[in-house]
Amino acid sequence: MELVRLACQMPDDRDRSLSVWDSTELARELVREGVVPSISVQTVQRILSHHKLKPWRSHVWLRKREPRSEEFITRTKAICDLYTRTLTPDEIVLSVDEKTSIQPRTRLAPTRPAQPGRIVQVEHEYARCGAVNLFAALNIRTGRVYGKTYGRKRMVEFIDFLKYVDRSVPANITIIHIVCDNVSTHHGSKVRAWLTKHPRFQFHFTPVHCSWMNQVEQWFSILQRKRLRIPNFKDLKDLAAKIAQFIVQWNEVAEPFGWRKESFAKVLENAEGALAA
């Protein structure tokens, strides 16, 4: 059927300047190409539903550029070991990353709290006044978070954050395992030079495109949901202070996420199977 064939093509391939098809545009295209003299949007919807087609929906996927390598398996096993084995009294594991471009979005009128029969009301209009970047480290055994905000995200700021962590972690901890991703901010020349002078830091990089292995991402989602979902801060200073306050109050009741070896089992099984094939 011509409608199904059309819905299974991208609009650009038909010289239509659309991101994706919807039922109205498909109906118009069928008429424009002379397939039918007329057709209702409801008829298009019914036919698409019968064929389980929803061309207006999309999701992001990552093309598999190369099969899982031995390095992927090695890194994944190393992260799994850090997350699940019993640590010695002189070591901790910190999951580290940055949440970037957090905006104050100062509302032009105060937010109204919930009332009986009325939900929270947020002014639609807001003023832009810059953004901050949050550097955070999650202790995977306790759930405690170390965090600082910066105006930029460079090696300079990352080194400053490492210095903050270095001061904050008790001196009896002689090994600080850092789990982080592969961005240049985390392993550039300045960072490597700093690390040579601070041997208690040991870095462990997650495999490429595996942000799910970095536990601090789970905490970022909690921060987003509980503190940043309705952004309305006076200015950058107020935003930074409220994030710091959230971290303090989080640490008062912090609990670990409790990852287990089973979290990695299927990934490793599939990777090792593909490598052996």
Structural domains in the chain, sorted by start: 2-50 (no CATH), 70-113+124-274 (3.30.420.10)
Q: Are 72 and 263 in contact (CB under 8 A)?
A: no
Give the pTM.
0.82
3 state SS of 20:
coil
Instruction: Give the three-class secondary structure for 167.
Output: helix
Of 60-64, 76-80, 180-184, give the lowest mean pLDDT range: 60-64
The confidence band for 99, taking pLDDT boundaries of 50, 70 and 90, is: very high
Helix, strand or coil for residue 147? strand
Average pLDDT rounded to a whole number, residues 12-40: 93
The pLDDT of residue 88 = 96
Amino acid 64: pLDDT: 63
pLDDT at 274: 59
Q: Which residue has the higher pLDDT, 221 or 277?
A: 221
Cβ atoms < 10 Å from Cβ of 247: 20
- Per the listing, tokens 């057709």 go with 39
pLDDT class for 66, splitting at 50, 70, 90? low
pLDDT number for residue 167? 97
Transcribe 84-118 into DSSP letters: HSPPPTTEEEEEEEEEEEE---EESSPPBPPBTTB
Average pLDDT over residues 213-238: 95
Residue 46 has pLDDT above 80, yes or no: yes
Question: Are 243 and 150 contacting, i.e. CB atoms less than 8 angstroms apart?
Answer: no
In this prediction, residue 62 carries a pLDDT of: 61
Residue 41 has pLDDT above 80, yes or no: yes
